Amino acid sequence: MAANNSGQTRETFSSLFGVVMTMIGVAVGLGAFWRFPYMVGRFGGSAFVLFYMLITLFIGIPALMAEWTLGRYTQRGTLGCFEKGGFPGGKWIGFFLFGIVVFATGYYSNVVGWVAFHGLGQFLKALHLELNAAAILPPQEGFNPTSFLLQILMTASVIFSCGMVLLKGLRKGIEKTSQWIVPLVFGFLVILILRSVTLKGAGEGIRWFILKFRWSELTPGVMAAALGMAFFCLSLGGTFMVMYGSYLDKQTRIPRNAVIIGLGASLAGILAGLAIFPAAFSFGLEPGSGPGLIFMTLPKTFALMPLGWVFGVLFFAGLFGIAYLSDVAAFEVLVGGIIDNTNIPRKKAVFIICGSVFVLSLPPMINNRIFIPWDLAFGSGMQALGSLLAVITAVWFIKKSQALRELAAGTDKPFPRALYWWMRIAVPLAILLVGINWILESVFKIKAIG
């Protein structure tokens, strides 16, 4: 436990293992399992992977350090951290980003429900029962009552289970759950990789994914996409990581842990790719099939494998577990925000947030004409904006001596000044590039890069 700036007792992580498992669970989410593989497929394979790793190392990890610094220094999450960090209008920035998380958590919980339903479909195959898992996906347009009702059922189940973990708090709920789920997920991935790479013709998929690199493929468009992917996979956005940073005690070494989490999140993406692409190439399926890669292409792959249902269950169970932890993190940003800024107890805050998120999950269930703009508005672009504001607050508005003290805590060595200035100049510029590119492409439909 630790006391925050107002003198209130604030729960902290119980161990280094708990910190690492929880933070990896937050960072990985659907980014590594869902978005990373389809982005690799869309942007041509190994060139994207290489640049993504470089961006994670030189931009993503320093940005993560800044978000944790902001959270630990202010002892606040999204609501309160910008104001206490000294950013002009910080109170209103916090409210704005808090609202974004409320809306985003609704549609994200829907996707976690889709994953759970697909896992159920794979399991029922073992019992020779057919379940059309795609029936849960929202239609392109119009209204499908079957899809809507299935989504209500699965999303309500996901939100309820998140609430049960949140009621137990940080150590007994979030940290303990992460310590079980994250190792299991990585174990499932290893099993899937061993099966995938031993399929006939899998070698071509491996070469395409990580070995077949050409400098000509490293276009500005690929680099911009890799930059955005790094922020997505590390859950940067002035929200999740700031809140979890506020739970770090003063002996936790921010730089070391940021490197561990950054490399762990990247490793998860690489492992997911090794589980997916060798199998896709083996069965002649299209690796660049877009966002539907795991929901449409992979079930076809599993159907063609001997005992494919086993690997299907393992994959979707792992995907659900890691996506679930990110969903819990989103809820904790909201619950923690209420607890930090009101006298409302945790139990009541959990009920309020779960109910509110469920109501806001309903509109994007209707069809993709609502879901996709919802995702673009409250997901991708806002992550870049939130992370930019968090980094600027941490390294420009918090006094330099205080920021350096937070970054060097837990060790006798001073934080490298060169890295601090890198965080002040290069990291914000890189995030700004992602944000501008997103606005031009998503809002104005102008392809600025590539």
Cβ contacts of 202 within 8 Å, gap of 6 or more: 196, 278, 279, 281, 282
Q: Using CA of residue 378, residue 102, residue 63, residue 214, what is the dihedral sign?
A: negative
For the cut 70, the answer to whether the pLDDT of residue 8 exceeds it is no
C-beta of residue 224 within 8 angstroms of C-beta of residue 251: no
| Sequence letter at residue 77 | G
C-beta of residue 375 within 8 angstroms of C-beta of residue 107: yes
Most confident segment among 10-24, 131-145, 224-238:
131-145
Burial letters for 110-120: b for 16+ Cβ neighbours within 10 Å, e otherwise? bbbbbbbbbbb
pTM above 0.85, yes or no: yes
What pLDDT shows up at residue 146? 96
Of 59, 103, 81, nearest to 247 by C-alpha is: 81
C-beta of residue 364 within 8 angstroms of C-beta of residue 377: no
Cβ contacts of 1 within 8 Å, gap of 6 or more: 9, 10, 11, 12
* Among 17-31, 128-142, 207-221, the least confident range: 207-221
Most confident segment among 211-220, 336-345, 397-406:
397-406
Query: What rounded mean pLDDT belongs to the chain?
Result: 85
3-state secondary structure string, the chain? CEECCCCCEECCCCCHHHHHHHHHHHHHHHHHHHHHHHHHHHCCCHHHHHHHHHHHHHHHHHHHHHHHHHHHHHCCEHHHHHHHCCCCCHHHHHHHHHHHHHHHHHHHHHHHHHHHHHHHHHHHHHCCCCCCHHHHCCCCCCCCHHHHHHHHHHHHHHHHHHHHHHHCHHHHHHHHHHHHHHHHHHHHHHHHHHHHHCCCCHHHHHHHHHHCCCHHHCCHHHHHHHHHHHHHHCCCCCCHHHHHHCCCCCCCCHHHHHHHHHHHHHHHHHHHHHHHHHHHHHCCCCCCCHHHHHHHHHHHHHHHCCCHHHHHHHHHHHHHHHHHHHHHHHHHHHHHHHHHHCCCCHHHHHHHHHHHHHHHHCHHHCCHHHHHHHHHHHHHHHHHHHHHHHHHHHHHHCCHHHHHHHHHCCCCCCCCHHHHHHHHHHHHHHHHHHHHHHHHHHHCCCCCCC
pLDDT tens digits along 72-99: 999 999 999 999 999 999 999 999 999 9
pLDDT tens digits along 154-197: 999 999 999 999 999 888 888 998 999 888 888 888 888 888 88
First and final CA of the chain: distance in angstroms?
Answer: 49
Please state, in angstroms and rounded to a whole number, the distance separating the CA atoms of residues 441 and 429.
18
What pLDDT shows up at residue 121? 87
For the cut 60, the answer to whether the pLDDT of residue 6 exceeds it is no
* Among 70-79, 252-261, 267-276, the least confident range: 267-276
What pLDDT shows up at residue 291? 59
| Residue 32 tokens, joined | 């590594």
What pLDDT shows up at residue 88? 95
For the cut 60, the answer to whether the pLDDT of residue 2 exceeds it is no
The four Cα atoms 226, 276, 30, 141 give a dihedral, to 10 degrees, of: 100
C-beta of residue 315 within 8 angstroms of C-beta of residue 298: yes
Q: What is the mean pLDDT of residues 303-322?
A: 81
Q: What is the mean pLDDT of residues 314-320?
A: 83
For the cut 90, the answer to whether the pLDDT of residue 30 exceeds it is no
- Find how far residue 173's CA is from the centre of its chain: 19
What pLDDT shows up at residue 360? 95
For the cut 60, the answer to whether the pLDDT of residue 287 exceeds it is yes
Most confident segment among 234-238, 277-281, 317-321, 417-421:
417-421
pLDDT tens digits along 200-252: 888 888 888 887 766 666 777 777 777 778 887 888 888 989 999 999 998 89
What pLDDT shows up at residue 3? 44
∠ at Cα 182 (176, 188), nearest 5°?
Answer: 140
What pLDDT shows up at residue 292? 62
What pLDDT shows up at residue 334? 94
What pLDDT shows up at residue 196? 84
Q: What is the mean pLDDT of residues 278-299?
A: 71
What pLDDT shows up at residue 416? 95
**Domains defined along the chain, listed by start:** 9-425 (1.20.1740)
Please state, in angstroms and rounded to a whole number, the distance separating the CA atoms of residues 217 and 43.
9
Q: What is the mean pLDDT of residues 21-47?
A: 78
